[in-house]
Amino acid sequence: MGKKRLTALALTATMVFLSACSVNMGESTESKKPEATKSGAVEASGPKKVVFWHAMGGSNTKVVDQLVADYNASQNKIKVEAVYQGNYDDLLSKLKASMGTSEGPSVVQMYEIGSRFMIDSKAITPMQNFIDADKWDLSQLEPNIAGYYTLGGKLYSMPFNTSNPVLYYNKDLFKAAGLDPAKPPKTFEELKVAADAITKSGKATGANFAIYGWFMEQLFANQGAEYVNNGNGRTSNATQSQVNTEPGVKVLTWWKDLIDTKAANNLGRKTDDSKKAFSAGQVGMILESTAALKGLVDSASGKFEVGTSFLPKPADAKEGGVIVGGASLWVMNNRPDDEQKSTWDFIKFLTTPKEQAYWHVNTGYFPITKKAYDEDIVKENLKKFPQFQTAIDQLHQTKLNTATQGAVMGVFPEARQIVEGAIEEVLNNKKTPKEALDAAEKEITSKIQTYNKTVK
């Protein structure tokens, strides 16, 4: 196939992906296998510039900047420039605009649900190329984190900011409702009992779950269920959504019952609204990312004690676990070979235990490197925030399989929005769980199949 034909296909595929974000990656080039390098061993007349585009806002921007400053100070052959590009959608739009020019990044942070598109774009050099050339030890990474970004035995991107969902609960409200705060609910059924008790105590509403598609994806995986067909899109490209199968209907039927019986309330799609209600003591339990742990514990300080527990699942569910959320780092292949090698050198630095420990303690995201847990600052942080041990245990107890690796599809961001719409229809009494999920499956499947036609 000629280069013009390849480029046309890549551009067509882009128009399908993330219509809400209007993203395309532009012309692609073939990935070249880099030669092995040692830290800082890049020949150049001056420091080689590496441009890092990211979407870490707020206080996390300062943490990224510090990591970059630490790397730049560690050697004099490479200079990394970190550029905050807004949220993920903003970053994607700017990435689109940069393609076909010399203004694009050397490395870009991309959220996990953009992985299929990044691979299909052929605009990236797989991380596995650098790993193989450098004989870099892949086993130093957390397998349940690296697993998401691995397809066909190849790691395509380096995990960066990683989180899981956990159940947060107010121990004081548990006590007031006659519940044992040392025994949080583990199943849907137990959570319903606890939520009912809290609501009936008159102190607060039992629970609140933000209408967030990520939670549905997680509750599928926790039942050992795949979200799309063809091995969750990992044995071959997904062609059909499975959101309307029994696991999905089970989740929405349970969720709707919580709302109908006043055991839970509905505050809409914004996770911030759910967190605010929890921090104010207005709800007893929420589902939220592990990355929110420090903020939730700090906001409750002096008011109540925060407990954490594994993500709940139906009592009769198959063995499952959680999927990693967050984003990873992708090396762009339209940059010169020496720039790509320099980018890999920077990425290796980010994975070191010391840097991962700093990243974890200051952001709340998981360390991606196992040895980071041996660092003193991580041990001290766990003493200060023992609730995070729940997140670590949940991650490590998850058995990696196609369900817990997570689904891969080229229209994932759109699919997530469609599912959120279906959840709203059910909670607002417009459709039954099966009706809403059947309609969502049909729409998502249509989008998947349209996308697939553009990348064949």
Query: Could you tell me if 171 and 297 lie in one domain?
Result: yes
pLDDT at residue 306 in the model: 98
Decide if pLDDT at 311 tops 60. yes
Average pLDDT for the chain: 90
pLDDT over 50 at 44, yes or no:
no
Query: Residues 6 or more apart from 36 whose CB is under 8 A from it?
Result: 133, 134, 135
Quick one: average pLDDT of 134-152?
Answer: 96
Same structural domain, 113 and 261 = no
Q: How many CB atoms lie within 10 A of CB 318?
A: 12
Same domain, 145 and 179: no
Task: Give residue 99's pLDDT.
Answer: 76
Residue 398 lies in a domain: no
State whether residue 285 is helix, strand or coil. strand
Rounded to an integer, the average pLDDT of 128-153 is: 96
Checking if the pLDDT of 308 tops 50, the result is yes
| Reduced DSSP (H G I as helix, E B as strand, rest coil) percent helix, strand, coil of the chain, to 5 | 50, 15, 35
Question: What's the gap between Cα 325 and its chain centre?
Answer: 2
Do 334 and 285 share a structural domain?
A: no
Q: Is residue 357 part of a domain?
A: yes
Residue 46 main-chain phi, psi, to 5 deg: -145, 180
In a domain, 393, yes or no: no
In a domain, 429, yes or no: yes
Closest CA to 44 of 384, 351, 394, 342: 342
Decide if 31 contacts 333 (C-beta within 8 A): yes
Shared-domain flag, residues 184 and 267: yes
Residues 199 and 317 in one domain: yes
Residues 313 and 224 in one domain: yes
The answer as to whether 388 is a domain residue is: no
Does residue 330 carry a pLDDT above 70? yes
Q: Which residues touch 370 (CB under 8 Å, ≥6 apart)?
A: 140, 141, 142
Whether the CA torsion 231, 120, 83, 86 is positive or negative: it is negative
Most confident of 33-47, 79-93, 251-265: 251-265
> What CA–CA distance (Å, rounded) separates 449 from 347?
35
Let me know if residue 442 belongs to a domain.
yes
Q: Please give the pLDDT value at position 455.
A: 86
pLDDT attached to residue 128: 98
Which run of H or E residues covers position 326?
A: strand 325-332
In a domain, 436, yes or no: yes
Query: How many Cβ atoms from other residues are within 10 Å of residue 302's Cβ?
Result: 6
Confidence of residue 370 (pLDDT cuts 50, 70, 90): very high
pLDDT reported for residue 399: 94
Q: Residue 238: phi, psi to the nearest 5?
A: -60, 145
How does DSSP assign 324-359, residue by residue? -EEEEEEEETTS-HHHHHHHHHHHHHHTSHHHHHHH
Answer whether residue 423 shows pLDDT above 60. Answer: yes
Rounded distance between C-alpha atoms, residue 321 and residue 396, angstroms? 9
- The DSSP call for residue 124 is E
The angle at the Cα of 293, spanning 348 to 90, to the nearest 5 degrees, equals 60
Statement to judge: residues 158 and 177 lie in one domain: no
Amino acid identity for residue 31 in this structure:
S
Confidence of residue 93 (pLDDT cuts 50, 70, 90): confident
Cα 1 to Cα 376: distance, rounded to the nearest angstrom? 54
Pick the residue with more confidence: 7 or 268? 268
- On whether the CB atoms of residues 80 and 350 are closer than 8 A, the answer is no
Q: Measured between alpha carbons, how far is 300 from 247 in angstroms, rounded to an integer?
A: 34
CA–CA distance, 419 with 249 (Å, rounded to integer): 12
Q: Are residues 64 and 157 in the same domain?
A: yes
268-287 per-position pLDDT tens digit: 999 999 999 999 999 999 99
CA distance 109 to 124: 12
State the CATH number of the domain containing residue 259. 3.40.190.10
Edge to edge, what strands does the sheet with 205-208 contain?
264-265, 205-208, 283-289, 165-170, 306-309
Q: Please name the amino acid found at residue 253.
A: T
pLDDT(18) > 50: no
Q: Are residues 439 and 311 in the same domain?
A: yes
Taking residues 136-146, report their average pLDDT.
96
Domain that holds residue 109: 3-163+325-374
Q: What is the pLDDT of residue 92?
A: 81
Same domain, yes or no, for 369 and 302? no
Among the candidates 374, 396, 413, a domain finishes at 374
* 200-255 tens-digit pLDDT: 999 999 999 999 999 999 999 999 999 999 999 999 999 999 999 999 999 999 99
Question: What is the reported pLDDT for 45?
Answer: 67
Confidence of residue 96 (pLDDT cuts 50, 70, 90): confident
Reported as half-sphere exposure (CB side, CA atoms, 13 A), residue 224 has a value of: 8
The four Cα atoms 443, 255, 257, 170 give a dihedral, to 10 degrees, of -160
% of the chain beyond a pLDDT of 90: 84
The sign one gets for the Cα dihedral 160, 367, 167, 227 is positive
pLDDT of residue 95: 84
Contact of 163 with 130, CB cutoff 8 Å: no
Residue 111 lies in a domain: yes
- Answer whether 162's CB lies under 8 Å from 325's CB: yes
Question: 376-384 vs 353-363: helix axis angle to the nearest 10?
Answer: 20
Same domain assignment for residues 284 and 432: yes
How many independent structural domains does the chain possess?
2
For residue 309, give the 3-state DSSP assignment: strand
Domain boundary among 333, 352, 374: 374
Distances, alpha carbon 426 to alpha carbons 251, 288, 444, in Å: 11, 21, 18
pLDDT at residue 12 tops 50 = no
